[in-house]
Every structure is written in C-alpha cells, then in structure tokens.
Amino acid sequence: MSQTSGQYITDVCGQSNQFLQPTNTAMPRRTQQQVNIREETKTYLLGKLEHGEPPNKLFKQDLHEMCIDAVSKKYPNEEVVGTLNAVNFGRLLKSVYPNVMTTNSNNSSVSKDTRRFITNMKLKIPSPTQQCSQEATPQHPEEATHTDPRLTDVTEDSKAEHVKYLEDKIAKLQRESKRQKSSIQHLTYTNVSLRIERNESYQAMGRFLDASSTYNRTSWMATSQFKVKSADYNKESILGEGSFGTVYKSSASLDPAAWTLYALKEFKRGLATAHQELRSLITLGQNRRIQQLHGFDLTDKEKPVIITHLITSAIFPSPTTMKTALASKEEHPINFISHILCLIHSVEYVHSMGLLHNDIKTDNYVLSGRDDGVLIDFGMATTHSKPYKRSRPTTQCSWMAPEISSGELATSTTSDVYSVGYFAREVTKARGIVNDKLKEVYRSCMQQDRNKRPPLTWCRVQLV
C-alpha cells in the first residue's frame, strides 16, 4: 500500500472518529415565558371547549386565532405567535383533549377549501349567571367592548339547539315515565287477579276435600289398607316429644330380619288430632319431600297411633331435624340453600293438594341428604276452606305469621309463606350465609301485611 493511500485512510478514519465523539451541544430549552404561554393556552382550551358535536363547524384555524387573541392580552403578541405556531397549537390541543378529531371542511377534490375543523368538540355555552357576572364586572376595559363575532354566532346557535335538545329529551322521558307507570299498574292488576284466582282454586280444592269420603266420613278407616296393629311394632327409643304426642323409633317385631325402621307417633289428645294428620297424609300420597304413611292403629281411642317411614340420611347417624343441624357445632356437607328450596317445593305441593300445613318450622323439617329433606308433622294441617284460627293470642310461636299468633285471622297460604320466610331467616343467620337473593326472599315473605307477601313460586325462582 502506498503512503498516499495510507494517509488517505488515516485521514478518513480520523475524520470519522471526530464524528463519533460525543458533543456537548444541547437542545434549546423553553423560556419561562413560553412555558407560561403554553399553560395559559391549556387553561383557555379547558374553559372554552367540551365534548360534543358542534352545531356549526368549529374550524381549527379559528380556534387557533381565538387562543392567540386571548393569550396575547397577558403576554407579548410576538412571543405568543412564535410559541403558538400551528404545530405547537395542534400538540397542545391533543394533550388537553387526546380524543379530539379533525377533518377537512370538504373531502371533494374539486373544493379548494382545505381547512380542517373539529368534529367532536364544541364551544361551551356560558350559563346566564356567568354571562351576567361577566357583563357586570369586566376584568379589562377592552373585554367589555370587544367581542369575537365567531364566538357570539356559535354560542347563540348552540344555545338554541341545546335548549331544543333538552326539551325533546324531557318530553321523551315524560312519555317513557308514563309508559312505565302504565306497565306497573297493569302488572299490579295482573298480580292481584292471579292471586285471587289462585286462592279461589285453593278454596275449591279445599271444599272438594271437605266433601270427600276421606274427610267427611270415618268408616273407611276400618277397611283401609294402612290399618295395622301397633302391638306388632317395638318401641326402641324416643325421637321427639311435644304437646300432641311422643314419637318413637320402632321396628316391626314380626320381621326383625328386615331391618326396616319406622317412626311411631303416639297421640296424647285423642282421636281428633290423629284423624286430622291421618287424612292429610293419605291426601298427600307418595311424595319424596313429604312424610310417608306406613300404617295406623286407632283401637286405643286415648292413645291412637300413626306409623310413618323413618327418615334417615348418610350425613347423620340418626334422624335429624333442621333445628338440630343448625345447633350442631360440627361441620357437615349440607347445602342449606338447597334445603330451603326443598322446603318451598314441599309447601307448594301441600298447597296444590288443597291443604295448609300451619306449623312450618325447623323442628318439622328432617334432613334426608345433603340437598334434600322431608316436611313432617301434619297434626295442625287443615284444608283451605276450613283454616285454623287460634282461640287466644300467643307470643311463643315466633314462626307463625303475626295475624295468626295474635288470633286476629285464620291461617292461609300467606301465613305458610311467612313461616317459610322465618325458616329461611333462621338458617341464614345460624350459618352466616351471605346471599342477597336469599335475604330479599325471607324479608319479602315476612312482611307484616299478608297481602304483600309473594307467592312461593316467586321465592323459588329467586333462589334457583
């Protein structure tokens, strides 16, 4: 390689190295006055614009000039014009309103007007109070006499259109309110009509039962297939005891190898109560959520006996009522909301068969599984047409509806609904269940006004 060539390479490399070396030259910084002008512009834009479709075209150039005029009242015009050039103004507008949209005034290629206008922002309409305040106390003499004609035109048009928009909106809301009110009145009328029709159907079913041979006569009991001899059953242990009688766990002594267990109820108050429960169980027939009749023995008129199938479950070693389950300190795999739904299904079935239970409580619901249970004890059950009414008030039966415990009115489907609500509330509070739907259900069921209590169908739908 020649010296000339080597020198050329050295010179080039030396020149390149000079370009690669860092320089100390810095970008020019904004002056404090330029920063103040930018902040004043942002404040002006925030005070003058709002989101919305403008009634007239709001040209970006006109808005630019209005900003320069306003800011020039505080700062030198040359400095404002230099700081707020078209590019800087566009960036400031975008920083204050990131979603601002602009477009050409005419997309046609024939038109020579290429100015851009803002499509989703409009000038704010000052309130009458602000207008009066501005007119009464101008800050600068020139502000009192000078008015931008573009601002005046846009404000007046915007105000007229805004007022028209509000009037149309109010009229639309008034029509909608009237329509909703009419719909509510129609639904209320329909609800009342359905309630009346349902109650009439229940009353008709009750009258049918009262006239039937099951309720009108006792001769059928002598030849009934359910007639047994209580002496053929062994009393093993007491399952429960109340004012009406004692319930024993029993088995058939004639066939001890069958290992079939029963609940033998021995009444204390004679035949009347036994007849009522027996008729109810026969009327309700076979339903997995209702206590199943096995047999009866009315030979001893002082201590008649009714035998039902014993309710057992894999969760508890012995028959367990909901009251016992709630009091248990042990944790068991029980779906309590499912049991409330099961109770609702049970009571709906009882009502549909023409009967009222009249004594729904946690003592009279026995668990048969994790999600299922059985409604028991129909000693107070009556037909819809011959309901139960207390002869004197009581404060000891908190699960009863207030109109029943006070002795004011006779039982009805709504009093059973109240008891279902009380049952649900006891379960909710004992187990600390947090469920807004469940809370709404038991509060609705336990309303003091019996006519405001919902049907059980509504309760069931809310919990499904």
The torsion defined by the Cα of 270, 272, 278 and 284, in degrees rounded to 10, comes to: -150
pLDDT of residue 3: 47
Which residues fall within 8 angstroms of residue 211, CB to CB, at 6 or more apart? none
pLDDT of residue 16: 41
Mean pLDDT of 90-112: 73
pLDDT of residue 366: 96
- 31-104+115-124 shares its CATH topology with 320-464: no
Max mean pLDDT among 109-123, 184-198, 394-408 falls in 394-408
pLDDT of residue 264: 95
Confidence bin at 57 (pLDDT 50/70/90): confident
Q: Max CA-CA distance within the chain?
A: 141
Q: What percent of the chain has pLDDT over 70?
A: 83
Mean pLDDT of 338-348: 97
104 phi, psi to nearest 5 deg? -70, 150
Identity (one letter) of the amino acid at 230? S
Q: What are the DSSP calls for 185-250, one per residue? A: HHHHHHHHHHHHHHHHHHHHHHHHHHHSHHHH-SGGGGG-TTB--GGGEEEEEEEEE-SSEEEEEE
Mean pLDDT of 217-241: 90
pLDDT of residue 321: 94
pTM exceeding 0.85: no
- CB atoms inside a 10 Å sphere around CB 232: 14
Domain residue limits, the chain: 31-104+115-124, 147-211, 220-310, 320-464
Mean pLDDT of 363-371: 94
pLDDT at 108 over 50: no
Confidence bin at 106 (pLDDT 50/70/90): low
Token reading at 445: 């069921």
pLDDT of residue 229: 92
pLDDT of residue 256: 59
Max mean pLDDT among 26-35, 60-69, 124-133, 425-434 falls in 425-434
Pick the CATH number of 220-310 from 3.30.200.20, 3.30.9.30, 1.10.3720.10, 3.40.47.10: 3.30.200.20
Pick the CATH number of 320-464 from 1.10.510.10, 1.10.3720.10, 2.40.240.10, 3.40.50.261: 1.10.510.10
Which residues fall within 8 angstroms of residue 83, CB to CB, at 6 or more apart? 34, 37, 38
Pick the CATH number of 31-104+115-124 from 1.10.10, 3.30.420, 1.10.3470, 1.10.1060: 1.10.10
